Structure 1
């Protein structure tokens, strides 16, 4: 019946009849299973490569964070080399990742018709990409291990940033509080206030952080801000005591000035006695002491008034400077007044017993001569010369004690000079002995 319908139909019928036989025989079904197995293998290779790519990307991010940490803190040649090595590694990682992405884009494993050869090639190329990705990951991890000493130091320094900045801020708060307390006490504290205001821009830079200015610079700035803020706080806290100290010094110097005026009243009587008892050479250099004392006291009074005015105006530096000048003037006048009385005492003693001064001076010379001869048959010319000159000088001073009014003051200066010359020789001998000469 099928044949009678025509050759075309016969062929078609045969074809239809053959289809069930083909599937039942298993040849086509076996080919389909192999195709699906190749697709599965390629998909597994794709998933494994994707996992390797993810791990490499994660490792690269971790290493980059470490490198950026080192870079932000350490500018040493070793650190710079390490950063350069990472740049080269990153370039190679990018190349490897690019090759993986190219292999991934080259094959559509989800295509309905996937040739076994294409699937096999996709599996092979993706497996190769996975191996390359894993090798790059290993290289990154090895590099990361070599970076650990630099990273440890960098992290240690980074850990110092936040506490250092916080200490600086706390110092600024303490300085501000001290300044406020001083102002509440009625003191202006203009200079500490100016110094504190100057730290405002530095605080702004600190708040911008180490990310912008670098760790070392931030640590340096934090330390500087803290130091300056503590200085401001110390000055502010010291102001009340400084004011009290200036008040005490003003009172003390006024008292001293009044006492000096009282002592100055004894200068003229003392000078009169010097003029009456001794030659003019003994007191001529003291003639202007009364006038100089009066002038110094007057100048000191002016300076004390200036200091008091500056203190009332809270110009602490001006007050301190004026007090220093007043004290120097009073010191000079005190010395001059004391010198007049001391001159009378010395002249009186030598007039009464010049032999005591002569004996004291000769003893000093002989003591130096004995030291110069110790262990020697003849003295060193460097020592003998000055000592012989001292002996001659003493003899001339003694010979000058003649007449009704000898120049006792010249005599005393000469004996003092002789003793000084002997003392210098003794010092020189001892230095030579100490150095082994």
Structure 2
């Protein structure tokens, strides 16, 4: 839109007797650099007292009404122009942030409205250019026609202004989202910059303590190009992309800072684990040497089935301890080279080896203890298993006259299995006590499964 409303007539400025044609006026304004806004003001600027002859009666009344219509049209034009300019800023805000289909549709709709605004603006300008209300010989008929055309132009301007207002209301959700993102942009970029500075300071402090932290330094250096892009601004890289980049840089810089600050503690923890695992490996070497006497007693007092699965424990334990000691040396070398992830992974391997060895060494002594107990008095193991079965049977019958077959069948099988296991103790001079123990354990596991299922189903029913 390229025009503004006329200013009030001033009696101090002499009126021009005539005005140039529309095209001549525009050409002149173009040459001297004045906007069309001034063009519309020029006829009025020269309005005032002076040489024009005044005719009384109907002609002057029509002239006044036409001038009022012209002023009203100019006001409507100004309102529409202002609204369009304001809305253009809103649309540009949205397009700077949002590339969604809804945003693209809003841009297309605004462009269509712009074409409609251009049409009614030209109608208004043509109406203004077509009638010189300051002519001395302006007759009543011409003034009336001018008033009608200017009023029609004003009404069209008002209708388009209403369309523009409705469009602006529909744009509010997109605009609110865009403004929210723009409001987040500057703080997000500043957080990223501060995060990088904090990470750099933390890394410098760690290096000052004698720790190299080469991996952290490399990660921080990789963020340098991202900072350059942030400094180039959202105008070059887009608001959503800049916002996402700022949040990612802040997050990664924060991680580098946290790891740098924890690095001295991590180094101390690795040193402690090295000492602890080395001591544990030495203790296991001693304990592994005690497995052979336990196996000798098992061989002497019990059948082969009670100890065959343990006969390779001494060799396996010794081999596992040797592997653990080699891994400990590698972990120490990684720690000395400050390869913290490698040191941590190697120490985890050592721990797993020692845990497995500890379980195997403990199994031999535990086997002998349990076999001694059941050989001396199997009744305790039998009573323990029967108690578990009876407890499950009472639970299965609670609130019922007959048990659920899904419960009764496995419990009946458990009773029979226990009786068979008890019967093996009466076979020969050297019963297979280990088989007896594994059977009673299996019976208790089955019974526990039945109890668990009953409680789950009844809990779900409540």
Q: 1:125 to 1:176 in 2, by over 3 A?
A: farther
Report if the CA contact (8 A) 1:43-1:109 is conserved: yes
One of 215, 220, 235 as aligned partner of 1:211: 235
Question: How many angstroms apart in 1 are the aligned matches of 2:457 and 2:166?
Answer: 67
One of 408, 427, 433 as aligned partner of 1:408: 433
Report if the CA contact (8 A) 1:109-1:119 is conserved: no
**1:162 CA drift (Å):** 1.0
Output aligned runs, 1:66-105, within 5 Å. 66-74=90-98, 79-99=103-123
2:179 counterpart residue number: 155
Structure 2's unaligned 5+ residue stretches are 1-49
RMSD, matched Cα: 3.7
Q: 1:333 to 1:91 in 2, by over 3 A?
A: same
Report if the CA contact (8 A) 1:56-1:133 is conserved: no
1:116 counterpart residue number: 137
Q: 1:144 to 1:222 in 2, by over 3 A?
A: same
Q: 1:217 to 1:130 in 2, by over 3 A?
A: farther
SS at match of 1:406: coil
**1:120 CA drift (Å):** 9.7
One of 194, 200, 212 as aligned partner of 1:170: 194
1:5 counterpart residue number: none
Question: How many angstroms apart in 2 are the aligned matches of 1:108 and 1:423?
Answer: 106
Question: How many angstroms apart in 2 are the aligned matches of 1:383 and 1:142?
Answer: 75
Question: How many angstroms apart in 1 are the aligned matches of 2:72 and 2:405?
Answer: 103
**1:293 CA drift (Å):** 0.7
SS at match of 1:116: coil
- 1:332-379 deviation digits (Å, cap 9, x = unpaired): 011111111111111111111112222222222233333334444443
1:302 counterpart residue number: 326
Question: How many angstroms apart in 1 are the aligned matches of 2:451 and 2:318?
Answer: 43
2:34 counterpart residue number: none
Question: How many angstroms apart in 1 are the aligned matches of 2:207 and 2:422?
Answer: 70
Q: 1:119 to 1:237 in 2, by over 3 A?
A: farther
1:33 counterpart residue number: 53
Output aligned runs, 1:230-379, within 5 Å. 230-379=254-403
**1:321 CA drift (Å):** 1.0
2:447 is the alignment partner of 1:422: yes
SS at match of 2:53: helix
Question: How many angstroms apart in 2 are the aligned matches of 1:32 and 1:368?
Answer: 119
2:44 counterpart residue number: none
Q: 1:130 to 1:181 in 2, by over 3 A?
A: farther
Structure 1's unaligned 5+ residue stretches are 1-29
1:142 counterpart residue number: 165
Higher helix share: 1
- 1:41-61 deviation digits (Å, cap 9, x = unpaired): 999999998787666544432
